C-alpha cells in the first residue's frame, strides 16, 4: 500500500511531467512560505499557473478535485500573491489557478508515463499499463 506522502509525490511528478510535455515550464515545485504551500507553479507564454495536485487510488471519497476546499483555495491565492510580490518578473503575467486530479492504480504507481494530449479541457494521462489519469482544468 502506498503511503499518502509517497502517493502525493507520484502524483506531483506525473503532473510535472505532463505539464512539461504540454509546453509548460515548471518554475517551482512545492513552493512554500509562511502562508502555506503550492504544489506546482508553471508558466506557458504569458500565463503563470498555480497548481494544486490531488492524487487518489480510488473514488471512495469522491473525485480528487472535490477535496479542494474553499479554505485551501483561499490559502493558495494568498501564497500566489506572496509569490508574485516576491518575484517581480511575473508581475505583468496573467494568473490562473488549476487543479490537476489524478487517479491511479495503487499497484501500478511506479510505471507512470504521461501523454501530450492537450486538445480539450479534460486531459487524459496514461500510465504504461493503460490506467487512465485525468487533468481537469479548474480555474478557481
Alpha helices in the chain (DSSP H): 4-21, 70-85
**Res 105: pLDDT:** 67
Is residue 105 within 8 A of residue 129, CB to CB? The reply is yes
| Residue 12 backbone dihedrals phi, psi, to 5 degrees | -65, -40
For residue 27, pLDDT over 70 is answered with yes
- Per-residue pLDDT of 51-80, as tens digits, reads 999 888 877 887 888 888 889 989 999 999
For the segment 2-18, the average pLDDT, to the nearest whole number, is 83
Is residue 133 within 8 A of residue 125, CB to CB? The reply is yes
For residue 45, pLDDT over 50 is answered with yes
In this prediction, residue 20 has a pLDDT band, given cuts at 50, 70 and 90, of very high
83: its cell numbers: 509569490
In this prediction, residue 136 has a pLDDT band, given cuts at 50, 70 and 90, of very low
Beta strands in the chain (DSSP E): 25-33, 36-44, 47-56, 94-103, 122-126, 132-136
| Residue 32 backbone dihedrals phi, psi, to 5 degrees | -135, 150
- β-pair partners for 99: 52
Read off the pTM.
0.75
d(CA 88, CA 23) in angstroms, rounded, equals 23
- Per-residue pLDDT of 78-135, as tens digits, reads 999 999 999 999 989 999 998 888 887 655 544 444 433 333 333 344 333 333 433 4
Amino acid at each position: 500500500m502506498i503511503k499518502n506522502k509517497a502517493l502525493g509525490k507520484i502524483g506531483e511528478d506525473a503532473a510535472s511531467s505532463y505539464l512539461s510535455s504540454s509546453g509548460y515550464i515548471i518554475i517551482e515545485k512545492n513552493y512554500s512560505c509562511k502562508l502555506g504551500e503550492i504544489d506546482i507553479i508553471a508558466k506557458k507564454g504569458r500565463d503563470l499557473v498555480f497548481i494544486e495536485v490531488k492524487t487518489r487510488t480510488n473514488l471512495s471519497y469522491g473525485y480528487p478535485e472535490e477535496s479542494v476546499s474553499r479554505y485551501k483555495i483561499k490559502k493558495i491565492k494568498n501564497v500566489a500573491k506572496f509569490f508574485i510580490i516576491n518575484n517581480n518578473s511575473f508581475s505583468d503575467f496573467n494568473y490562473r489557478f488549476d487543479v490537476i486530479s489524478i487517479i491511479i492504480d495503487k499497484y501500478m504507481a511506479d510505471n507512470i508515463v504521461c501523454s501530450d494530449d492537450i486538445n480539450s479541457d479534460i486531459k487524459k494521462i496514461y500510465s504504461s499499463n493503460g490506467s487512465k489519469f485525468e487533468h481537469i482544468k479548474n480555474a478557481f
